[in-house]
Structure formats: C-alpha cells, structure tokens
Amino acid sequence: MVQAQTKNSQWLKDQLRSNASPLLIKILDQPDTFRYQIIYTKIDRNKNNLPKFTNFYLNVDDHSYFYPASMVKLPTALAALEKINSLKSKGIDKYTAMLTDSSYSGQTGVIADPTSASGMPTIDHYVKKIFVVSDNDAYNRLYEFCGQQYLNETLWKKGYKNMRITRRFVKMTPEENRHTNAIRFRKDGHTLYTQARRQVMQFSTLIKKY
C-alpha cells in the first residue's frame, strides 16, 4: 500500500511563525494534538488582470480526517439548490414555503420563520442565512432536505470523493443523523409535495458503492 505524504510548505511555515502570537505558536508546535490542516492560496495577477493561483500547504493529508466546521455549509447549500430545481415540475421553487416536521428522535420542526419577508421558511432564505450569518439551523434544514445519502452522492459524482458530510450542527448520535425529517412544500394553503422521512444505509456501506 502506498502511503500518502503529508503536504508541507516551508514558506507557509515561516510566514505563519513570523506573524504568530504566542498562543498560535503553541498550537503550531503541537500538530498531533490539534490536527490542523492549512491551505493558503496566493493570487497573482498579470498585466491583463488575469489571476494565477498558487497553493501552499501545511499538514495537509487526504487520508487524515479533520472536522471542517462551517465549510460544509457551501456544498450543502449548492446541493439543496440543485435538488429544489429538480422539483420544478411540481410547481416548487426555492421561494416555496418549506415546512419541516419532527419525525425521529432528536429532531425539531419548523413551520414559520420570522426573519424572512414572508414569515415562512424557504430554501432561498435558508441559503441567505447561511452566507450572511453562517446560521447553523439553516444548514441543518438544508441537510435534512437533501438527506445524508443524496448530499454525499451528489458531491462524489461531481468528483469530490474525499468529502464526507455526516451530521447536523446540533448534538445528535450517528444513528439520529442518518434519519431526516418529513418535509412539506406549501403554497396558497395547499400542499404541493411531501418528502417522506428517510433513513439512509450505514455510512460505511454507502461509501463502498463509490
């Protein structure tokens, strides 16, 4: 078996240390404890203002998992927009009211959103809240709309095979995160479409398909 090499840039190491606070130095000195991975992209532009991107790495290892925190919100939002576009034939778009039910242990429902202009939760408003204030609940609702299996298979099919999105931003067990809420899309007092609650296969089984 070929061992993947950790990518390290001496230039990036020097840059970080030359400007680091004592606390950051303490973290940099303990890579095995803090398990940090850093990618810095330098952008240079030519005389025509066309950019050239150069990546510098520190402790980057494709075979070493790290918790990406809010980075998962971007691909989840894009996957949700792609999925909602597939429901156009049902008269649904990103502005349609999306009501989330509580269908399993640990889940909560949403039937209104006082922060939106309409007072109703929608895919469009959840996406806005993710990018404006990095809202965790908005991410959770898009995770539930996509479902763990659809979300990850969508990313893998697009070539992002090293990504794993497996949980909401709320305390839940792995089993609870495999279950997604039932969801209803409503307009003018009528339910246009109901997405049943779902339970996906064990994540280890899902990965083997790819």
CA distances from 1 to 7, 52, 60, 95, 178 (A): 18, 35, 19, 50, 32
Least confident window among 5-14, 20-29, 42-51, 98-107: 5-14
CA 150 to chain centre: 13
Q: Give the domain ranges of the chain.
A: 7-60, 69-208
Euclidean distance between CA atoms 150 and 144, whole angstroms: 10
Q: What is the mean pLDDT of residues 134-145?
A: 97
Helix axes 73-85, 136-146, angle to 10 degrees: 50
- Report the chain's mean pLDDT, rounded to a whole number: 91
Euclidean distance between CA atoms 25 and 4, whole angstroms: 26
Least confident window among 4-13, 68-77, 151-160, 175-184: 4-13
Pair 78, 177: CB distance under 8 Å: no
Provide the 10 A C-beta neighbour count for residue 148. Answer: 24
Q: What percent of the chain has pLDDT over 90?
A: 79
